[in-house]
Structure 1
Amino acid sequence: MNKGLADMRDYPADTILGLLRAGDDRAPAIGAPGRPWLTHAGLRALAGATVGALNAMGIGRGDRVAIVLPNGPEMAAAFVTIACGASTAPLNPAYKAEEFDFYLADLGARALVIARGMDSPARAVAAARGVPIVELDAAADAPAGTFALDAGGLSGTAASPGPAGPEDVALVLHTSGTTSRPKIVPLRQRNVTASAYHIGASLELTRDNVCLNIMPLFHIHGLIAATLASLAAGAAVSCTPGFNAFRFFGWFAEVRPTWYTAVPTMHQAILGLAERNRATIEAGRLRFLRSSSSSLPPQVMTALEAAFGVPVIEAYGMTEASHQMASNPLPPRPRYPGAVGVAAGPEIAIMDEHGKLLPSGALGEVVIRGRNVTDGYENNPAANATAFHDGWFRTGDQGVLDEAGYLRLTGRLKELINRGGEKISPIEVDTVLMDHPAVAQCLTFAVPHDKLGEEVAAAIVLRDGAEASEHALRDYAAGRLAAFKVPRRIVFLDEIPKGATGKLQRIGLAEKLGLV
């Protein structure tokens, strides 16, 4: 078992409104490339005005407010300030009408906050369901993130007005629902604030830090790691319109961030443009880069550190933990490619399928418990009975804790390939194939097999100008892996399909590629 930061008792605040007290009045809080900063004093004033406006609409603590906004400072500010007095439910603005219909109904949304003039099917869906539409107005000449809410005459008396308390739900997100109906994950004020402080502690964030956010702000990674952790440290976050590798270095030069956080596919795209932006990197003031939300190939970690000249800190997170669970430490403590670090928030242990905790070095399911972990899925006793055991939350990930407390993941349990009873870690196969000089990206996945149940396949993106045949890559893997782990099928792609947050998706890939 690894306690990490689990014994941390000094949580300066247990609500988001309290967390916002950290920054100096005149210091920058939320910004965007090309726009003036909103100060911490300005953000605190905006929070008070927003809670007051919601209360005047009849919306208060515990009421769910769906938010559909493009990535940027207004989305960050809306999440933070609405959460000070209600429950936020950020939704992907790219959803189709059917998806908005499902989520607005499943959430029981009391209102939909949407940018004025934003063309979205969410409007028609909300109107059809009788969900009031609240227009968000952002003044072009005001500091980034500044907004006002227009309820179009909606008024009422909130059942529970005023600022939210520690036990109130601050954020409601759905699990990805790759293989089942998405589950509702309610995260309380004490959950998300604890996670923000855990991240700040592991990254040693101070008021002098500036994060460049390129993550989507309808996802736990961008909301907590980039935004809330920065504000909890009294620091600043500059919010881009979303990830764009070709605009990244322009933003980087203007904002001069001390760090940024991203998923591995984003890091790889940035890495591909790093050499031609050498002068921009050298003129910067980065302290570190952070990677989370999916496994970072060791080769990419090494190349990033060489390109940027700073440590790459890989962290391990998930929605049910309000994001961060483990993180590699900053220097001078060691960090290891292929490891997601030590416990950096909740306690971490390894459990067998019968619920027994295992010793160091044993392979099993990663389990967690702590202040940042959800109390359980909403209205889903069957899922809770499966997910929780003796106070521990089962993450669904398989891994090993070494004697020093470093966690190495071997994959999602549901992503492990079962080839005739042999369990194969797709991450292990990825790592081997990524060492081939022609391979830029690799994603190993299962394909159905009539006798073995599942067989090993790999999707490959080659480096520009490089060549490699399926036979050559299989021979390469055969020299480094046991025979049963070698992919029997290799598919060459220009791009591997990604999810809404930029993560590569193993589950369902065989179907998407027509291999079933």
Structure 2
Amino acid sequence: MTTTITTLLRAASPQAPAILGPGRVALDHGGLARLTEETRTMLAGIGIGSGDRVAIVLPNRPAMASAFMAIAQCAATAPLNQAYRAEEFDFYLGDLGARALVVAAGAESSAITVAQAKGCTILRLHEDPDGPAGAFRLEAEGTVRPAVAATAPGPDDVALVLHTSGTTSRPKIVPLTQANLAASARHIGATLQLGTEDRCLTVMPLFHIHGLIAGTLAPLAAGGSLTVPEGGFDALRFFRELDGSGASWMTAVPTMYQAILARAGRNREVLARSGLRLLRSSSASLPAQVMLELEEVFGCPVIESYGMTEAAHQMTSNPLPPAPRKPGSVGIAAGPRVAVCTAEGEELPPGEEGEVVISGPNVTPGYEANPSANAAAFFERDGQRWFRTGDQGRMDGEGYLRITGRLKEIINRGGEKVSPLEVDEVVMDHPAVRQCVTFAMPHDKLGEEVAIAVVLRDGMTAGEREIRDFAAARLVAFKVPRRVVILSEIPKGATGKLQRIGLAAKLGLG
């Protein structure tokens, strides 16, 4: 079934709440639909139609969610991290071929200067402080083109354009169609059994596929709602924002949950009345120890899912009870077809390790203007088009997938291959360790050596030798970290994910 975001949202009750924020009345589904029509008319009047790209640089707040939802039903959205420097905005806006840039009224950003130099229309987003959460109007500055027809995009039109992380190479452009986003939102809703009464506490950054699809589009597609804290996730404010939010679920990355757990003991009353029916974790591996602690503290199931930008987010997920959830596994296929294959694309039997590949309606048509990347990433088998995720894993006899590492993150220690995730899982069992990340450290003879960064639990101590000895009792010798770096905080990326690649350089190792 192919559809668009607009047709996906039509089933929602117009009077039902859609987007909420602190101290504001809700923008209902009918209001969001009217806002979309007003936005489409306004954009068409200045020459921006369904094929044009509109960059969005806004802080995490209700208006960011509503701007994405409205503009994605009119043109191709390109949300960008507002913390980028001028040279980063210059790259992304140029690479995207953006026709317009949305910024908050009164905002000062290097993105504006860069966009003006490229001939982009500046769209100032004005919020009504007395209106519903997320209600806005756009005002154009600068370059305005002749009007175009105010037509709604079709299923094959691009709705969202993002870049890959570009950790080891130039970021690749990932266009995602209306049909891709609609399929992924349906998959998430079915997995979590989302309904009209469900409300997501949306703490993920809204320039990232996780926050945009799981935290925004999926709850709205189910006829439910989301509430967006001002400024995004802050562990110090989290329990205050959770209290009284009416949220029935949330989705976040493991580092966010670890920060929440560190403060849970001081917020038992909030936890007792929170009313969350599930916690969803995605975008990075969730340590089994953290999953079990979350379930004990929050008294609800933790659903670990597996997603990536090229799949419009979700690929697999652990199911809701009473079906089994397997700690350390990212669950079963949850939308697309999922298989583990050899380098040649031949499917492997259960228990054997290989590359994870996917095929389905949520998968991008391909990287933009990058034939070599597409040739490497896509292949045909059994009349279907498959995408190589770049992740290594194995599937058990019940179809549960376990990710054993990102292929480009595997440590090659003199020819011996080490999965960082395997080392993480062992060290996380040390009673003093709250968080850890294993990474490759340069070595003059071996090429790479195993190192690990560790954050200790409050009030607990452990030295490098103790942690190495702990790991040595549980791992074969070549997998034991030769360097343990104890930190107060591990460097994270813009979305809160721990960064393995490049961590040695950041820590001044090698």
Q: TM-score, normalised by structure 1?
A: 0.96
8 Å Cα contact 1:61/1:160 also seen in 2: no
Residue deviations 1:287-323, cap 9 Å, x none? 1000000000111000000000000000000000000
Aligned mate of 1:336, from 322, 326, 331: 326
Match of 1:505 in 2: 499
- 1:474-493 counterparts in 2 under 5 A? 474-493=468-487
Aligned pair partner of 1:77 in 66, 79, 95: 66
Match of 1:432 among 405, 408, 426: 426
Give 2:83's aligned residue.
94
- 2:55 matched residue in structure 1: 66
Letter in 2 for 1:381: P
Is the CA contact (8 Å cut-off) linking 2:176 and 2:312 kept in structure 1?
yes
Q: Distance in 1 between matches of 2:356 and 2:95?
A: 29
Q: Give the CA RMSD over aligned residues.
A: 1.1
d(CA) in 2 for partners of 1:133, 1:377:
27
1:334 is displaced (CA, Å) by: 0.3
What CA distance in whole angstroms lies between the structure 2 residues aligned with 1:243 and 1:402? 35
Instruction: State the AA in 2 paired with 1:412.
Output: R
Q: Where does the alignment leave 5 or more consecutive residues of structure 1 unmatched?
A: 1-10
Whether the 8 Å contact between 2:121 and 2:144 is mirrored in structure 1 is no
Q: Unmatched 5+ residue regions in structure 2?
A: none
* One of 451, 460, 467 as aligned partner of 1:457: 451
> Could you list the per-position Cα deviations for residues 319-358 of structure 1 after superposition, in whole angstroms to 9, with x for gaps in the alignment?
0000000000000000011000000011000111122221
Mapped to 2, the partners of 1:219 and 1:300 lie a distance apart of 23
Q: Please name the residue that 1:354 is paired with.
A: 344
Aligned residues: 505
CA contact (8 A) 2:119 2:143 kept: no
Q: Tell me the distance in 2 between the aligned counterparts of 1:438 and 1:154.
A: 58
Q: Name the TM-score, length of structure 2 as normaliser.
A: 0.98
State whether structure 2 residue 307 is matched by structure 1 residue 317: yes
Aligned-partner SS, 1:254: coil
Q: Tell which deviates more after alignment, 192-201 or 145-154.
A: 145-154
Does residue 195 in structure 1 map to residue 189 in structure 2? no
How far apart are residue 153 of structure 1 and its match?
7.3
Aligned twin of 1:254: 244
Which residue, out of 411, 416, 422, partners 1:417? 411
Q: Match for 2:138 among 139, 146, 149?
A: 149
Amino acid at match of 1:288: L
2:261 aligned partner: 271
Aligned partner letter, 1:383: A
Corresponding residue SS for 2:455 = strand
CA distance in 2, matches of 1:229, 1:149: 25
Q: Quick one: which amino acid aligns to residue 277 of structure 1?
A: N
Distance 2:143 2:169 in 1: 37
Q: Which residue of 2 aligns with 1:4?
A: none
Cα distance change on mapping 1:158 and 1:388 into 2, 3 Å: farther
Distance 2:431 2:130 in 1: 50
Following superposition, the deviation at residue 361 of structure 1 comes to 1.1
Paired position in structure 2 for 1:108:
97
**Secondary structure at the counterpart of residue 246 of structure 1:** coil
Shift in Å, 1:154: 5.6
| 1:61 positional shift | 0.9
The answer to whether the 8 Å contact 1:33/1:254 transfers is no
1:223-276, Cα deviation, whole Å (9 max, x unpaired): 000100001000000011201011111111121210000000000011111121
Distance (Å, rounded) in 2 between the aligned partners of 1:282 and 1:466: 27
Q: Is the 8 A contact 2:116 2:142 kept in 1?
A: no
Query: d(CA) in 2 for partners of 1:380 and 1:310?
Result: 44
1:488 to partner: Cα distance:
0.6
Q: 1:357 to 1:27 in 2, by over 3 A?
A: same
| Partner residue of 2:393 out of 392, 399, 406 | 399
State the Cα distance separating 1:50 from its structure 2 match. Answer: 0.5
Whole-Å separation in 2 of the counterparts to 1:147 and 1:433: 48
1:259–1:287 Cα contact (<8 Å) kept: yes
- Determine helix, strand or coil for the equivalent of 1:455: strand
Greater shift after overlay, 301-310 or 253-262? 253-262
Contact residue 255 and residue 497 of structure 2 kept, 8 A = yes
Give 1:369's aligned amino acid: S
User: What is the CA–CA distance in structure 1 between the aligned matches of 2:367 and 2:148, rounded to whole Å?
Assistant: 24
Moved more, 464-473 or 191-200: 464-473
Query: Aligned-pair distance for 1:161?
Result: 3.4
Q: 1:152 deviation in Å?
A: 3.4
AA aligned opposite 1:67: I
Aligned-partner residue type, residue 25 of structure 1: P
Q: Provide the rounded CA distance (Å) in 2 between the counterparts of 1:453 and 1:259.
A: 45
- The percent of aligned pairs where both chains have the same amino acid is 64
2:118 aligns with one of 106, 123, 129: 129
SS of aligned partner of 2:424: helix
